């Protein structure tokens, strides 16, 4: 099976300081991965590399079967959806939700081409798919933080990406809004035509059952990677966090507590 992401022995050095060191990571088509790590672990740097915003100091990177150095990175990015909380700050709050979703087709926070009626119908269908039918015709600034995140995910899906990156999408959400968003993500991830999804988080309880694989990053290095149940164990989490912890599995999700 062809890999959606193929990173082989990659390192990245900035100002003579190693940020990523000897990273090897493959994501197969159809797999959904969670990336777990503390602040400063290299998560954002790794995402920037997957998107082609930075290039490895050494090693090789291929995304969507396109090897860096032998492909048009700008074209490759059109097949990647990226949702992060920082994107919210660049959205015009006066725009209606479906207009924001449609902007994902053009990879912009505005619109540089004329959307068709078909585009708007598709945007509305995606919003409904995410359980956001009530948000249609609302302006962005009247939506809650959780609703805004769903709108941005819908925007990320507008161009029918082959890879969708969700960079800490639950930041700033209360417990109810967080769970609602996670259920929505779980729902569309199960669909037959869903893209491969990379979900970045600080919290293991956010790793829903659909994320069958987990990558642990620590100080710019791969601490561990593999199937979720083999990674999120008390022994590995204790070593990873440097604190004695317990892992309790409930509703097919891992919950972490300090001993």
DSSP 82-112: EEEHHHHTTS-TTSBHHHHHHHGGGTSSS-S
| Mean model confidence pLDDT for the chain | 91
142-163 pLDDT tens trace: 999 889 999 999 999 998 999 9
24-60 pLDDT tens trace: 999 999 899 999 999 889 998 999 999 998 999 999 9
Residue 113 is predicted with a pLDDT of 64
Tell me the mean pLDDT in the region 77-103.
Answer: 86
228: which 2 tokens?
């979720």
161: which 2 tokens?
């990406």
Distance between CA 202 and CA 221 in Å, rounded?
16
Assess whether pLDDT exceeds 90 at residue 5: yes
Assess whether pLDDT exceeds 80 at residue 86: no
């Amino acid at each position: 099976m062809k890999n959606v992401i193929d990173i082989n022995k990659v390192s990245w050095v900035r100002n003579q300081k190693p940020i990523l060191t000897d990273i090897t990571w493959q994501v197969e088509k159809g797999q959904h991965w969670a990336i777990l790590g503390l602040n400063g672990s290299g998560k954002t740097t790794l995402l920037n590399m997957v998107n082609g915003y930075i290039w490895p100091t050494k090693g090789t990177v291929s995304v969507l079967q396109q090897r860096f150095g032998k492909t048009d990175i700008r074209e490759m990015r059109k097949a990647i959806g990226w949702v992060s909380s920082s994107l919210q700050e660049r959205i015009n709050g006066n725009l209606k939700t479906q207009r924001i979703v449609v902007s994902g087709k053009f990879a912009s926070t505005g619109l540089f081409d004329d959307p068709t009626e078909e585009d708007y119908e598709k945007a509305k269908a995606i919003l409904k798919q995410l359980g956001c039918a009530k948000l249609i015709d609302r302006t962005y600034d009247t939506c809650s933080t959780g609703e805004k995140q769903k709108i941005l995910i819908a925007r990320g899906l507008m161009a029918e990406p082959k890879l969708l990156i969700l960079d800490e999408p639950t930041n700033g959400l209360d417990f109810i809004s967080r769970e609602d968003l996670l259920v929505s993500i779980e729902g569309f991830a199960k669909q037959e035509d869903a893209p491969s999804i990379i979900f970045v988080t600080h919290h293991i309880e956010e790793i829903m059952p659909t994320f069958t694989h987990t990558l642990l990053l620590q100080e710019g290095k791969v601490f561990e990677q593999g199937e979720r149940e083999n990674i999120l164990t008390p022994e590995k989490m204790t070593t990873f966090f440097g604190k004695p912890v317990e892992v309790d599995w409930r509703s097919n999700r891992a919950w972490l507590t300090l001993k």
